[in-house]
Amino acid sequence: MKQDAIQLKGLTKTYRGGRGQPEVKALKGIDLTIPRGSVFGLLGPNGAGKSTLINILAGLVIKTAGQVTIWGFDQDRNPRQSRAAIGVMPQELNLDPFFTPRAALEVQAGLYGVPKSQRHSDEILAMIGLSDKANAYARSLSGGMRRRLLLGKALVHRPQILVLDEPTAGVDIELRQMLWTNIRQLNKQGTTIILTTHYLEEAEEMCDEIAIINQGEVVARDSTTNLLGRLDARSMVIHPQSPVTELPSAPGIIASQRDDGAVVLSYHSQQTSADQVLEAVHVAGITIRDVKTEEADLEDVFLALTSSL
């Protein structure tokens, strides 16, 4: 028990529907433990309840029921200690445009009661690559720089647990690489990392362990290696040389055609090889102009898991 970073028991959140809207059961009794030292992924489609869970950890959303223990501290009985153990990089950009990056870090440190002598703003600025922008107004920073600053703000009180809510959604490759590098470095230094994502690829690259949430429930929880073995859905997109009259058909392959004429072939990589898929394409008499494979995103995976392939 001591060695868990986070422990959730029966965590429930129901948003009350205002103005005739029905209530939303965002979390339906989540039981989950997250080990110390891990990079833990909370994976799930939009609306699954990931941000709700994160925001409860951060103290930004009040839970409806259940127990939250952060670094051994019960959130209700020891709110100060449990809050001090965690730093959150939110999904939404919420920066004061009139603060410079250095000021934003200093103000945040002040909010967490970090004494001046123990602040490490310069170190954080260097880590997030904003040393040369330390004194620029936030409103003059690019979107990527603002996201990096949000990461920096989560670190001012040296939390044992860093939580990142969709850190790379909609960011360019360069920034994504930089965030990943930062995250790995922090984890190496001992910080427990929890990140939410709806990208399988990101979870695969970054996380040791993964919980999949869907509609407010944990539907799977395993090491990344084990999970991805189960979730091996792929799709191959074929752009044909000429219009297709007959879709490929073979066991283990689901073929469909897109409006633009491309043929999409869905398969499980553990059961069916890319070679077998291409063979089926040739048998159907299709000449390939261009081809690419895609790892299914989580929503595809859910579809694949519930359809009988």
Ligand X SMILES: Nc1ncnc2c1ncn2[C@@H]1O[C@H](COP(=O)(O)OP(=O)(O)O)[C@@H](O)[C@H]1O
Binding mask 31-50 for Mg ion (x = CB under 5 A): -------------------x
3-state secondary structure of 7: strand
Q: Which DSSP state fits 130?
A: -
Distances, alpha carbon 40 to alpha carbons 25, 51, 89, 187, 244, in Å? 24, 15, 15, 11, 44
Residue with smaller CB distance to ligand X, 203 or 236: 203
**55 makes contact with Mg ion (CB under 5 A):** no
- Enter the tokens of residue 99: 């603060």
Q: Which DSSP state fits 207?
A: -
3-state secondary structure of 149: helix
Structural contact between residues 31 and 9, judged by C-beta atoms closer than 8 angstroms = yes
Single residue of 7, 30, 40, 44 touching ligand X by CB under 6 A: 44
User: In whole angstroms, how close is the CB of 91 to Mg ion at the nearest point?
Assistant: 5
User: In whole angstroms, how close is the CB of 52 to ligand X at the nearest point?
Assistant: 3
Q: How far apart are CA 162 and CA 278, in angstroms?
A: 44
Single residue of 10, 35, 47, 229 touching ligand X by CB under 6 A: 47
- Enter the tokens of residue 59: 């103290």
Residue 92 backbone phi and psi in degrees, to 5? -90, 145
Structural contact between residues 133 and 101, judged by C-beta atoms closer than 8 angstroms = yes
User: In whole angstroms, how close is the CB of 130 to ligand X at the nearest point?
Assistant: 27
**51 makes contact with Mg ion (CB under 5 A):** yes
Q: How far apart are CA 78 and CA 55, in angstroms?
A: 17
Beta carbons within 10 angstroms of residue 61's beta carbon: 17
Tell me which residues in 22-41 interact with ligand X (CB under 6 A): 24, 26
Residue with smaller CB distance to Mg ion, 53 or 130: 53
With a CB cutoff of 8 Å and minimum separation 6, the contacts of 212 are 43, 44, 218, 219, 220, 221, 227, 298
Residue with smaller CB distance to ligand X, 78 or 214: 214
One-letter amino acid identity for 49? G
47 binds, among Mg ion, ligand X, none (CB under 5 to 8 A by kind): ligand X
User: In whole angstroms, how close is the CB of 239 to ligand X at the nearest point?
Assistant: 32
112 binds, among Mg ion, ligand X, none (CB under 5 to 8 A by kind): none
Task: Select the residue whose beta carbon is closest to Mg ion and give its number.
Answer: 51
The piece of 47-55, 106-114, 282-290, 293-301 that touches ligand X (CB under 6 A) is 47-55
Tell me which residues in 50-109 interact with ligand X (CB under 6 A): 50-52
Q: Give contact residues for ligand X (rule: CB under 6 A).
A: 15, 24, 26, 44, 46-52
